[in-house]
């Protein structure tokens, strides 16, 4: 699978709430491949940046350019929220909902849904209401619902923030599997271990600004800014 | 007190003997009201959900108008429908005045705003929950509307039931446009009104108990329905 919607270039991109700027101006390019980890302290603007890329947050200034038209770009993305949205349906029907939007109602679609239920390990829970799932199971359902549409790019906002170690490992396994099938990941995390495990590139945000971008290895060994250094040292950033 | 006792006894007697007049009036009440409820639900629910889904310039005004319509005195609705349907009115040629159809029209006008308003309230919360996901999945407006109606169907049922409650107990408007004609447009409420004015309190009370029983039954049904819902933890 080729990532045709990328690269994405943000130039002077800003976002505001009630007239107050909460992000930017951000200059950023996301290339065609890899796993970009968006990191930074609480309130740095990680969620805002990801939502802005996905079109859930209105951009108040600057430009956002995809390799294709914005509608085509959006249709080839999926988003995983920190708190999964649970439709008032069974686990299976939550996943089927997304699949039917893309592939229509058919027995083939049903087979793909069943396949994904097995892949994310929710066979036992498939008939239960989504609300009966544990935190980890909910996120796995959300992943199936997102990945079943075979997005070129998956955006994730702290997907394991509320999960225990075992669930985090299971979620990461699903993500690595997606990466192996050339899905482009852009995700935020506050878990530096996770950023090291999964990230190929880093975007370091602080106070709504991009302080540093680049390959993950270089960032973790030789951060370029005092802010990033302090953040990696575990100091409290104001 | 004797009146009330007589009423209760007579109500039981009428029910046990399946009194033909009582059955006929009850059946007509149900036919008129259920028809009106089905039509008003088909109009009011999609409109209420649509209002929750869309931001547009006249939205606040629309909601204000909806609430104003909800507060319309039924008697005035009856008068307006009467004027529309009377010989000299714009729809006079249809010959609908003093027919069950006229009563259905009046009831639809009375309960559609109510149903739309409750449906609007009920679906706002669901839309807040679903908003990000449905936008992210690239759904069309139409798909969002259908999804909110389907996933919110149990809470939307409360709108329909409130409409039923209002319509089955309504008397002013249907008295005016139906005329309370024996064997044609006489329903529970208008019959109660007539029997009361004739001083026939026993029969009026008997009919009243039937009306109350009907309301309780419908509300109980709703309760059972929503109970099974909670049991499944949706
Ligand atoms: N709806 C909102 N109203 C007001 N301020 C907001 C809103 N959303 C985000 N912010 C502010 O924007 C900044 C960035 O928030 P966010 O993107 O959620 O940060 P992060 O995800 O990195 O913790 C924060 O200072 C936050 O308080
Ligand atoms: Mg956040």
pLDDT tens-digit series, residues B13-32 = 887 888 888 889 999 999 99
pLDDT band at B39; cut points 50, 70, 90? very high
A35 in a structural domain: no
Contact A87 B136 (CB under 8 A): no
Q: Which of B122, B127, B131, B138 to mutate to test the interface with A (most CBs of A within 10 A)?
A: B138
Contact B115, B51 (CB under 8 A): no
Instruction: Point out the ligand nearest to the CA of residue A24.
Output: 1
Residue B232 has a pLDDT of: 52
Q: Which long-range contacts (CB under 8 A, 24 or more apart) does A113-118 make?
A: A113/A148, A116/A144, A116/A147, A116/A148, A117/A91, A117/A92, A117/A144
A39 in a structural domain: no
- Phi/psi region, residue A150 (left: phi>0; alpha: psi -120 to 50; beta: rest), is left
Domains in chain B, start-ordered, CATH in brackets?
21-228 (1.10.3720.10)
**Chain B residue numbers touching A56 (CB-CB < 8 A):** 132, 135-136
Number of domains chain A is built from: 3
Residue A63 has a pLDDT of: 96
Instruction: Verify that A99 and A194 share a domain, yes or no.
Output: yes
| Residues B89, B80: Cα–Cα separation, whole Å | 10
| Residues B217, B28: Cα–Cα separation, whole Å | 17
A25 in a structural domain: no
A29 in a structural domain: no
Residue B229 has a pLDDT of: 55
| Residues A140, A131: Cα–Cα separation, whole Å | 13
Instruction: Verify that A184 and A234 share a domain, yes or no.
Output: no
What average pLDDT does this structure show over A16-41? 95
Give the pLDDT confidence of A58-90 residue by residue, as tens digits.
999 999 999 999 999 999 999 999 999 999 999
Residue A1 has a pLDDT of: 61
| Residues A113, A144: Cα–Cα separation, whole Å | 8
What is the predicted ipTM? 0.94
What average pLDDT does this structure show over A170-197? 96
CA of B185 to nearest chain A CA: how many angstroms apart? 43
Instruction: Verify that A183 and A209 share a domain, yes or no.
Output: no
A171 in a structural domain: yes
| Residues A73, A164: Cα–Cα separation, whole Å | 33
Instruction: Verify that A89 and A193 share a domain, yes or no.
Output: yes
**Chain B residue numbers touching A101 (CB-CB < 8 A):** 137-139, 143
> What residues make up the domain containing A217?
201-238
Instruction: Verify that A158 and A224 share a domain, yes or no.
Output: no
A161 in a structural domain: yes
A206 in a structural domain: yes
Is the predicted pLDDT of residue A234 greater than 90, yes or no? no
What average pLDDT does this structure show over B152-162? 89
Pocket test for ligand 1, best of A24, A48, A205 (most atoms within 8 A of CB): A48
Residue B155 has a pLDDT of: 86
**Residue appearing with tokens 């029983």:** B213
**Chain A residue numbers touching B133 (CB-CB < 8 A):** 81, 85, 87
A210 in a structural domain: yes
Instruction: Verify that A115 and A216 share a domain, yes or no.
Output: no
Is the predicted pLDDT of residue B154 greater than 90, yes or no? no
Instruction: Verify that A130 and A227 share a domain, yes or no.
Output: no
Nearest atom (ligand 1) to Cα of A158: 21
Give the pLDDT confidence of B85-128 residue by residue, as tens digits.
999 989 988 999 999 999 999 999 999 999 999 999 989 999 99
| Residues B42, B156: Cα–Cα separation, whole Å | 11
Is the Cβ of A78 closer than 8 Å to some Cβ of chain B? yes
CA within 13 Å, CB half, A95: 32
Instruction: Verify that A88 and A165 share a domain, yes or no.
Output: yes
Is the predicted pLDDT of residue A26 greater than 80, yes or no? yes
pLDDT band at B230; cut points 50, 70, 90? low
């Amino acid at each position: 699978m080729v990532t045709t919607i990328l690269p994405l270039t943000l130039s002077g991109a800003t976002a505001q709430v009630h007239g107050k700027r909460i992000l930017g101006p951000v200059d950023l390019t996301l290339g065609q491949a890899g796993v970009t980890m968006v990191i930074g302290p609480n309130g740095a603007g990680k969620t805002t940046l990801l939502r802005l890329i996905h079109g859930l947050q209105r951009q108040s200034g600057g430009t956002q350019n995809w390799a294709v038209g914005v509608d085509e770009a959006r249709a080839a993305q999926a988003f995983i929220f920190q708190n999964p949205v649970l439709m008032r349906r069974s686990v299976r029907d939550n996943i089927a909902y997304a699949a039917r939007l893309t592939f229509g109602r058919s027995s083939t679609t049903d087979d793909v849904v069943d396949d994904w239920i097995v892949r994310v390990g929710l066979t036992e829970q498939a008939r239960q209401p989504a609300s009966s799932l544990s935190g980890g199971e909910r996120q796995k359902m959300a992943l199936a619902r997102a990945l079943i549409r075979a997005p070129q790019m998956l955006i994730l906002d702290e997907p394991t923030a509320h999960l225990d170690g075992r669930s985090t490992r299971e979620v990461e396994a699903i993500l690595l599997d997606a990466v192996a099938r050339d899905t482009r990941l852009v995700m935020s995390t506050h878990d530096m271990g996770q950023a090291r495990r999964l990230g190929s590139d880093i975007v370091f945000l602080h106070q709504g600004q991009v302080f540093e971008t680049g390959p993950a290895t270089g960032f973790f060994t030789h951060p370029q800014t005092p802010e990033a250094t302090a953040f990696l040292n575990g100091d409290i950033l104001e | 007190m004797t009146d009330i006792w007589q009423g209760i006894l007579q109500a039981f007697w009428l029910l046990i003997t399946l009194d033909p007049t009582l059955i006929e009036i009850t059946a007509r009440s149900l036919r008129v009201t259920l028809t009106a409820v089905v039509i008003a639900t088909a109009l009011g629910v999609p409109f209420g959900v649509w209002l929750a889904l869309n931001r547009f310039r006249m939205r606040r005004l629309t909601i204000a108008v909806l609430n104003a319509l909800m507060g319309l005195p039924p008697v005035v609705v009856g008068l307006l429908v009467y004027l529309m349907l009377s010989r000299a009115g714009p729809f006079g040629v249809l010959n609908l005045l003093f027919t069950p159809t006229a009563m259905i029209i009046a009831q639809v006008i009375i309960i559609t705003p109510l149903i739309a308003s409750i449906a609007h309230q009920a679906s706002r919360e669901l839309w807040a929950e679903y908003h990000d996901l449905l936008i992210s999945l690239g759904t069309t407006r139409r798909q969002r509307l259908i999804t909110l109606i389907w996933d919110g169907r149990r809470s939307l049922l409360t709108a329909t039931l409130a409409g039923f409650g209002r319509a089955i107990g309504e008397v002013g408007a249907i008295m005016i446009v139906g005329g309370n004609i024996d064997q044609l447009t006489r329903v529970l409420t208008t019959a109660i009104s007539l029997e009361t004015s004739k001083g026939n309190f026993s029969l009026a009370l008997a009919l009243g108990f039937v009306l109350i029983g009907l309301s309780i039954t419908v509300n109980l049904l709703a309760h059972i329905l929503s109970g099974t819902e909670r049991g499944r933890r949706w």
